[in-house]
């Protein structure tokens, strides 16, 4: 009988040690995998070759929209800023770009705001375009960069008397909404296609890559993100909005496949937002309800469809390998302004919201 009990104890001990060993190995492998996958989602984004893209270029508008360069620190990196409309004193609109691009990716919006009498401050985030940074680091980095940008703006005498208003899209939409966690004097916020929190967007996008297995990786993702960003990793827009009295406008496309409308978006949490001065716009019209296309006019979308058909013909003609000079010739003929023509109804709503927030 004693031998049986001893054998049972030995079996239990082996099971416990084996389980602990398995968990240790699983944890180590998971952490390594999380670091590798996470870092891969946030690479550096250098300026793209504008001769083979259809986006509006600063060279296209430079004569009518001069800008001054400003540099400021965010952590250990020097970020590149741009100031437009320096003779405008209605207010300062800070434009915060999405991941994968830079300030120039939002030249149509910047141009619109300047035309409406606003001074504009835009910048390239960490690891983007002309700013320093080996990578974009992670979702909370957008919030830290915006905090650094507003801190810089507050230190410059040229902006002293200007009310500050925020406009952000995607990565930037998350940042402008969450900035209310910081002690800054901001008069209004427009968040477009923004995510509520870093963990929510990581889990949502991770699920599309790994399925339900991503749930098992949650503790390791949380731990790694916290190691990178400390408390900033756990902040969310709902808490920021509820703890602030700054007027907010939240815009989202109902068919957004990047920041899902009924998923990690801020707008999906509107029942948890208790403030009265928060407004919402749901873009549901076909072709204007996605992540990026919600900005563009009917004329723009029609032109994009036409350009895509012509490019497909060229693509097939050269057996999927279009020579570089042929690409350049194709893109040189495009109407870049029309290609990114903004939907006036949406942009005018944003402009009116800013003016109303200033009591105008």
Mean pLDDT along residues 323-342: 96
Sequence length of the chain is 360
State the SS3 of 273-313: CCCCCEEEEEECCCCCCCCCHHHECHHHHHHHHHHHHHHHH
Strands (E), the chain: 67-74, 77-84, 92-96, 119-123, 164-169, 188-192, 248-253, 278-283
pLDDT attached to residue 41: 83
Mean pLDDT along residues 32-61: 88
117-148 pLDDT, tens digit per residue, is 999 999 999 999 999 999 999 999 999 999 99
* 1 pLDDT higher than 50: yes
Cα(227)–Cα(323) distance, integer angstroms: 45
pLDDT attached to residue 3: 54
pLDDT attached to residue 353: 98
Residue pair 85/157 in contact by the 8 Å Cβ criterion:
no
* 351 pLDDT higher than 60: yes
Residues 6+ apart with CB under 8 A from 335: 303
CA separation (Å) from 126 to 144, 224, 299, 311?
A: 9, 19, 34, 33
pLDDT attached to residue 246: 97
Mean pLDDT along residues 106-124: 98
* 33 pLDDT higher than 70: no
pLDDT attached to residue 289: 93
pLDDT attached to residue 26: 47
Residue pair 189/177 in contact by the 8 Å Cβ criterion:
yes
Please give the CATH topology (third level) of the domain spanning 42-197+235-295. Answer: Rossmann fold (3.40.50)
**Over pLDDT 90: what percentage of the chain?**
80
For residue 180, name the pLDDT band (cuts at 50, 70, 90). very high
pLDDT attached to residue 16: 55
pLDDT attached to residue 210: 66
pLDDT attached to residue 29: 54
Tokens of 156: 């410059």
Mean pLDDT along residues 321-348: 96
290: DSSP letter: S
pLDDT attached to residue 206: 72
User: Shortest CA distance to 254 belongs to which of 268, 272, 274?
Assistant: 268
Q: Domain extents for the chain?
A: 42-197+235-295
* 110 pLDDT higher than 80: yes
CA separation (Å) from 169 to 192, 330, 352?
A: 5, 29, 18
Name the range with the highest mean pLDDT among 18-32, 193-207, 344-358: 344-358
């Amino acid at each position: 009988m004693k031998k049986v009990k001893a054998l049972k104890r030995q079996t239990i001990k082996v099971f416990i040690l084996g389980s602990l060993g398995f968990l240790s190995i699983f944890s180590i492998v998971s952490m390594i995998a999380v670091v590798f996958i996470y870092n891969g989602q946030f690479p550096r984004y250098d300026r793209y070759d504008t001769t083979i893209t259809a986006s509006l270029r600063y060279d296209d508008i430079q004569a009518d929209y001069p800008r001054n360069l400003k540099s400021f620190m965010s952590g250990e990196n020097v970020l590149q800023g741009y100031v437009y409309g320096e003779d405008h004193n209605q207010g300062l609109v800070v434009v915060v770009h999405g991941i994968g691009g830079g300030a120039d990716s939002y030249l149509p919006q910047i141009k619109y705001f300047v035309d409406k009498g606003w001074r504009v401050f835009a910048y390239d985030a960490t690891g983007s375009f002309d700013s320093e940074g080996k990578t974009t680091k992670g979702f909370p980095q957008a919030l830290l960069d915006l905090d650094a940008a507003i801190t810089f703006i507050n230190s410059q005498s040229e902006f002293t008397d200007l009310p500050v208003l925020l406009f952000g899209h995607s990565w930037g939409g998350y940042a402008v909404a969450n900035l209310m966690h910081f002690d800054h004097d901001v008069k209004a916020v427009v968040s477009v296609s923004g995510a509520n929190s870093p963990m929510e967007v990581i889990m949502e996008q991770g699920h599309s890559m790994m399925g339900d297995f991503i749930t098992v990786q949650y503790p390791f993702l949380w731990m790694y993100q916290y190691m990178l960003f400390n408390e900033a990793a756990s902040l969310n827009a709902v808490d920021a909005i509820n703890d602030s009295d700054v007027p907010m406008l939240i815009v989202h496309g109902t068919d957004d496949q990047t920041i899902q409308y009924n998923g990690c978006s801020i707008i999906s949490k509107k029942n948890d937002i208790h403030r009265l001065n928060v407004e919402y716009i749901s873009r549901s019209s076909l072709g204007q309800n996605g992540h990026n296309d919600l900005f563009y006019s009917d004329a723009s979308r029609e032109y994009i469809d036409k350009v895509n058909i012509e490019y497909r013909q060229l693509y097939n003609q050269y057996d999927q390998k279009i020579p570089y000079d042929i690409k350049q010739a194709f893109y040189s003929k495009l109407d870049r302004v029309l290609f990114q023509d903004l939907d006036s109804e949406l942009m005018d709503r944003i402009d009116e919201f800013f003016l109303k927030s200033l009591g105008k």
